[in-house]
Structure 1
Amino acid sequence: MRFENTEIETLQIELDRLDDIMKEHGLIRAGQWDWERVTYDRKFENREGTFYLRISGFTENGDIGGHDADIKLLTPLLGKYYYPHGVEYGEDEEFPEHLVQTCEKVLAAVYAELSLITE
């Protein structure tokens, strides 16, 4: 599921600041990066299954490994985990309404904080 119109995809943020803010909202980068891309995930486990809220981004210049990059964020996604295949983000997936609402609140809070430092 894509969360359209969050305006997160309009932001470009310095990597170290982005890491700190995402972590405050439970979105963890961990080892999910390469020299040009990053991925932040927040895991939700409930009776309906295991789900991941994902925000990805990329840099057009700079070095993520060297913590010297500005990250352009992409449209957030919500996916469902299926053992042993992984996470599915397709439009055919069904997501509990309470989870979608929680994710929308998280994304609104992330955007509010990130937009303050980009002004």
Structure 2
Amino acid sequence: MYIENTGLEHLQLDLNTLDEILPEYGLIRAGQWDYERVTYDRKIVINNNVYYLRVQGYAVSGDVGAHDAIIQLKVPILGKYYYPHGVEYGEDENFPNALVNECKEILLAVKEELEPLALAIES
């Protein structure tokens, strides 16, 4: 499920800024990166169901592995984990309203903190 209209998809930030701030909101970039992409996940467990709030981005310049990149954020997504297949985001998924609202609140707080630190995007 895409969580639209958060405004995060309009932000470009230094990778080190994201690595410093997003963990404060439970969004962790563990092994989910390569030299051009990053993924920050927040694991949420409700009634033995595991969900992931995911904020992804890609390098518009620099190198993620060298901790020297400017990251363009994408539209955040919410997925449900199924063992052993992984996380599903499809339209067939049913997410509790309370979970969706909690994710929107988290993303709003993230945007409010990141927006003043964002770089100007060239048109």
Q: Tell me the TM-score normalised to structure 2 length.
A: 0.94
- Over the residues paired in the alignment, what is the CA RMSD in angstroms? 1.0
Give 1:15's aligned amino acid. L
Give 2:72's aligned amino acid. K
Give 2:29's aligned amino acid. R
In structure 2, the residue matched to 1:49 is 49
Instruction: Name the CA distance, whole Å, in 1 between partners of 2:65 and 2:107.
Output: 26
In 2, are the aligned partners of 1:48 and 1:96 still within 8 Å (CA)? Answer: no
In 2, are the aligned partners of 1:11 and 1:118 still within 8 Å (CA)? Answer: yes
In 2, are the aligned partners of 1:44 and 1:51 still within 8 Å (CA)? Answer: yes
In structure 2, the residue matched to 1:10 is 10
The SS at the match of 1:94 is coil
In structure 1, the residue matched to 2:81 is 81
TM-superposed CA distance for 1:55, in Å, is 0.6
Provide the identity percentage: 57
Instruction: Name the CA distance, whole Å, in 1 between partners of 2:92 and 2:106.
Output: 23
In structure 2, the residue matched to 1:70 is 70
| Equivalences, count | 119
TM-superposed CA distance for 1:96, in Å, is 0.6
Give 1:112's aligned amino acid. E
The SS at the match of 2:60 is coil
In structure 2, the residue matched to 1:60 is 60
Q: Tell me the TM-score normalised to structure 1 length.
A: 0.97
User: Which consecutive unaligned segments of at least 5 residues does structure 2 have?
Assistant: none
User: Which consecutive unaligned segments of at least 5 residues does structure 1 have?
Assistant: none
- Deviation digits for residues 21-67 of structure 1, max 9, x if unmatched? 11110000011100000000000001161000001000122011111
Give 2:88's aligned amino acid. E
Asked if 1:22 corresponds to 2:22, the answer is yes
